[in-house]
């Protein structure tokens, strides 16, 4: 899209992009679809600003649907399926002792709570280098 909203620069093109809005993400999905001659999954209207610059907003969006063959964000159900990693409960105890749960999504965003136990120190083995 011609710019990088990432604050990370030390890892080149492998850096995660962390400073994007939902509007930026769907504009990027449409741009990827266009670049590969695929169907756009989103129709945006009333947009202003530049995607990736922190000022991009639209007044409305319509989603083609999960069958869209272009790039798209996962639906809520797809995200939940991936986040549960094959489990069926709302809160799952992990092998490391942490708890991954639904958190508080009432604020409009999905929040995943992760609690890890303190890691005990292990005395050095005798004779180890």
3-state secondary structure 79-93: HHHHHHCCCCCCEEE
pLDDT of amino acid 61: 94
For residues 65 and 100, give the distance between their C-alpha atoms in angstroms, rounded to a whole number: 29
pLDDT higher for 103 or 1?
1
Q: What is the pTM of this model?
A: 0.62
Sheet with 91-93, edge to edge strand ranges = 91-93, 99-101, 113-115
Cα separations in angstroms, 104 against 18, 65, 90? 21, 26, 12
pLDDT of amino acid 47: 95
């Amino acid at each position: 899209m011609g710019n990088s909203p990432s604050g990370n620069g030390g890892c080149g093109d492998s850096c995660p992009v962390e400073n994007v809005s939902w509007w930026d993400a769907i504009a990027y999905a449409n741009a990827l679809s266009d670049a590969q001659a695929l169907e756009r999954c989103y129709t945006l209207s009333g947009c202003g600003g530049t995607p990736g610059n922190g000022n991009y907003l639209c007044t409305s969006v319509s989603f083609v649907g999960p069958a869209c063959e272009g790039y798209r964000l996962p639906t809520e159900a797809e995200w939940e399926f991936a986040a549960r990693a094959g489990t069926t409960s709302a809160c799952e105890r992990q092998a490391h002792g942490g708890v991954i749960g639904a958190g508080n999504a009432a604020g409009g965003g999905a929040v995943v709570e992760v609690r890890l136990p303190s890691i005990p120190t292990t005395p050095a083995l005798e004779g180890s280098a």
